[in-house]
């Protein structure tokens, strides 16, 4: 099954896909921005400040999703002795890190009008900051170590440590008294968010997911060409 995912075989697809993904991303983002900034209603408590949710929440969701994927892929890379899993993980990390930073910065901007402060050391915000540190450590590991085996081991170790933080982020608002509000959207139970706000949020999430796919494809192609460059050196 993994042979289908071999870089030599999928490059034909991954090299052509970015332009189509970029086109789709621009369309979905444009629709999302109109929905988020113009068509969606203001909140009865937060007024127009609620619109920050349309960039803050998708960024947080995707950064958590990407970190979880990186962990699963890194562990799978070890179990199945498949280097391609590590290559996919490495290519996913930059967009995950940027989404994490976006979630922190937009959260901070949202905090000022709603809580009266740019920053608070509460459980949700601090655990998101810790996730950003794990992302940074993961990316630095790939930069500083030359030895492939060493990078695979250290980066996987970092993701295993970091994944412990993911459920803490998710449940921090339930376990501790925090400034951050509890989750408004639940997959298993009824969401407390109205559909007029839920749909723009989902459209923006789709746009952000497309952007991370775009960056992943470009980064993955770059990594494949890097490997092929080394191959040419050996000829």
Partner 1 sequence: MINELLFMNGYAVYVLSAFGFTLLSFLSLYLVTKVQFIKEQNKFVAKFGSLNTEQANSAKSQRINKEILAEATNN
Which residues here bind partner 1, judged by CB under 8 A?
Answer: 7-8, 11-12, 15, 33, 36-38, 42, 47-49, 51-52, 55-56, 59, 94-95, 98, 101-102, 105-106, 109-110, 112-113, 211, 214-215, 218-219, 221-222, 224-226, 228-229, 231-233, 235
Q: Which is nearer to partner 1, 108 or 184 (CB)?
A: 108
Residue 212, judged by CB atoms within 10 A of its CB (0-12, 13-18, 19+), counts as buried
47: β partners = 43
Q: For 29-42, b where at least 16 C-beta lie within 10 A, e where not — what string? A: bebbbebbeeebee
Q: C-beta of 31: minimal distance to partner 1 in Å?
A: 15
43: β partners = 47
Q: How far apart are CA 163 and CA 66, in angstroms?
A: 11
Q: Which is nearer to partner 1, 163 or 197 (CB)?
A: 197
Q: C-beta of 35: minimal distance to partner 1 in Å?
A: 13
Q: C-beta of 157: minimal distance to partner 1 in Å?
A: 26
Q: C-beta of 104: minimal distance to partner 1 in Å?
A: 11
How many residues in total does the chain contain?
Answer: 235
Q: Which is nearer to partner 1, 1 or 38 (CB)?
A: 38
SS3 at position 47? strand
CA R_g for the chain: 19
Q: C-beta of 51: minimal distance to partner 1 in Å?
A: 5
Measured on CA atoms in the order 123, 60, 161, 135, is the torsion positive or negative? negative
Q: C-beta of 190: minimal distance to partner 1 in Å?
A: 28
Question: Nearest Cα to 57, choosing from 206, 211, 213, 210?
Answer: 206
Q: How far apart are CA 126 and CA 180, in angstroms?
A: 11
Q: Which is nearer to partner 1, 79 or 235 (CB)?
A: 235
Q: Which is nearer to partner 1, 39 or 164 (CB)?
A: 39
Q: How far apart are CA 129 and CA 54, in angstroms?
A: 20
Q: Which is nearer to partner 1, 77 or 107 (CB)?
A: 107
């Amino acid at each position: 099954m993994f042979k289908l995912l071999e870089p030599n075989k999928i490059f034909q697809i991954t090299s052509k896909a970015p332009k189509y993904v970029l086109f789709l991303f621009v369309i979905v983002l444009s629709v999302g921005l109109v929905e988020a900034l113009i068509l969606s209603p203001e909140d009865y408590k937060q007024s127009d400040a609620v619109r920050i949710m349309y960039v803050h929440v998708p960024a947080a969701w995707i950064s958590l999703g990407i970190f979880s994927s990186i962990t699963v892929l890194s562990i799978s890379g070890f179990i199945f002795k498949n280097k391609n899993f590590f290559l996919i993980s490495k290519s996913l990390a930059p967009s995950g890190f940027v989404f994490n930073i976006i979630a922190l910065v937009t959260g901070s901007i949202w905090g000022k009008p709603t809580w009266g402060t740019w920053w608070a050391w509460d459980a949700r915000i601090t655990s998101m900051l810790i996730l950003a540190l794990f992302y940074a450590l993961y990316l630095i590991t790939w930069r500083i170590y030359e030895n492939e085996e060493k990078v695979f081991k250290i980066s996987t170790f970092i993701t295993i440590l970091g994944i412990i933080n993911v459920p803490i982020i998710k449940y921090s608002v339930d376990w501790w008294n925090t400034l951050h509000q509890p989750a408004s959207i639940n997959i298993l139970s009824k969401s407390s968010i109205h559909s007029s706000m839920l749909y723009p949020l989902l459209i923006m999430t789709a746009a952000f997911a497309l952007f991370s796919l775009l960056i992943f494809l470009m980064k993955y192609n770059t990594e494949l060409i890097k490997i092929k460059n080394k191959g040419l050196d050996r000829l």
